[in-house]
Amino acid sequence: MRSVENARTALDDGKVDTAIKMMKSTDALCSRVVAPPTVHGIALRVLADAYMEKAAGRTESGTVEASESGEDAAKDNGKEEAEEESDYVDCAKRTLKKALDICKVHDGKAGMPRFMVQDLAGRMGDLYAAQGEIFRQEGNYKEALRSLRLGIGKFEVLGANEFVGATYNRVAYCYMEKEQWKEALEELQNAERIVNGVEAESAILSTTFAYRGECLKRLDKIQLARAAFESALKFGMASGNEGVVREAEEFLAQTQQHSTVDDSAFL
């Protein structure tokens, strides 16, 4: 869908207000023509992303974007005044809920071709995952975990193990923020199990093992933490995950005295 691609480009360029206007227009068009839920859903997903960018204050050039004249901006300010005074995070949550409500009308309908069932499940999984991340950022872990687990269920219907594994990582991260290290480790074990052999294995497992290392470190299991960070380093280097590589190298250097390798063997 061209408008979605254009809105994503606008977001990448920091033109958040432009992206919001484009996706609101696409949302209205999808409603008029009764677009397929997967199409309408992705437009609303991008709109929610734009609202979150707006909430974070990430724009290219202050209050008026470079692509707009002062006259156009004044008109827009008049039309969108109520929205500008609202909480953009709430706007994002309402947008994702609307997308999910649209999809739920069709979810589980008898007679749908398998490819349509999978497409719908994939779209709903993505929407639930995005919803879960917003709840997590707000510290509402109960709703975050609920949404993320619903997302896992939909990704399983899609048959996309890489998405299932990545979402298990996000579930684990929720528990880590709650300092429930043992619960996080259980979710990370699920992630490791499910992504074995998938195309994005290294990228996902680099995060899985980095999270595992952090949990074990917090449990004061330094030897096990080192083993986890060694795996994180391996997968991080394979996938180009520089953040994980840096974190793993720092931890391994700091805990070198706990290494089980006999340094004299290399002399």
Per residue in 172-202, pLDDT (tens digit) is 999 999 999 999 999 999 999 999 888 889 9
Percent of the chain scored above 90 by pLDDT?
81
Sign, CA dihedral 107-110-116-122, equals positive
Q: Which domains, ranges and CATH numbers included, belong to the chain?
A: 179-261 (1.25.40)
Using alpha carbons, select from 106, 98, 96, 159 the residue that is nearest to residue 129. Answer: 96
Residue 264 has pLDDT above 90, yes or no: no
Q: Tell me the whole-structure pTM to 2 decimals.
A: 0.86
**CB-side neighbour CA atoms (13 Å) of 246:** 3
Residue 67, pLDDT score: 42
- 186 or 69, higher pLDDT: 186
DSSP state of 140: -
Residue 83 has pLDDT above 70, yes or no: no
First-to-last alpha carbon distance for the chain, in angstroms, is 62
C-alpha–C-alpha distance, residues 119 and 136, integer Å: 26
